[in-house]
Chains A and B, each alone.
Chain A
């Protein structure tokens, strides 16, 4: 299993760019990197997924260095509504979810 390590918490201010880094030193060749957002009392919501280099969608960017041992989720110009827990998942589905284990997540608090 690719264990992930993220900061427990981060604070930011509205309008700033936020970068959350996840370490996954034992990532396997087949593993993808996926980030989820979770608000209190809700199920996690998919944000972005990547395998290598950079991926960008309408809400975030994901930077993955060549060795893939870490990844950085970048949220441009955060707002108060971006306050949530962000999880980095590393894994690959092969008939079992054991390879998709949630780490502790990062509590992002956006301040006015």
Chain B
């Protein structure tokens, strides 16, 4: 099946710093990628939809200036958590579709962010 890879798998940072998480589609071109966050024992919450070559579409309540998304190529989308605070600590997961409309998503391994 299609492979989506995230990096780093885990990161610890100090409060106030910025952290970048990369999401790559390794064997297919992904015109659209999605970013989710997941708190312990909870479901995935969609944060934004990342479209190659255009601005990301953010879900209601997600601060676009806090969570910067860049999708500069067909195989790479990045999520930057700016001025991170402890409440931003979470599991961030990206997914991509191969362009089909059936809703089959391919997920990355996830990135665990811990802000001290």
Where the two chains meet, the residues of A that have a C-beta atom closer than 8 Å to any C-beta of B are 30-32, 34, 36, 41-46, 49, 87, 89, 91-105
Residues of A with C-beta under 8 A to B97: 93
User: Which residues of the other chain, A, contact B44 by a CB distance below 8 angstroms?
Assistant: 44, 87, 102
Residue of B nearest to A94 (CB): B101
Give the Cβ gap from B65 to chain A, nearest Cβ, in Å. 21
The answer, yes or no, to whether B88 is at the interface (CB within 8 Å) is no
In angstroms, Cα B110 to Cα A103, docked, is 18
Choose one: A31, A41, A100, A101; the contact of B91 (CB below 8 Å): A41
The SS class assigned to the A binding surface is: loop
The verdict on A43 contacting B101 (CB below 8 Å), with A87-B43, A96-B57, A103-B43 known, is no
Task: Check B100–A93 contact: CB distance below 8 A.
Answer: yes
Contacts of B84-111 to chain A: CB distance below 8 A: 91, 93-95, 97, 100-110
Question: How many angstroms between the C-alpha atoms of A41 and B40 in the bound complex?
Answer: 9
CB contact list, B47-68 vs A, under 8 A: 49, 57, 59
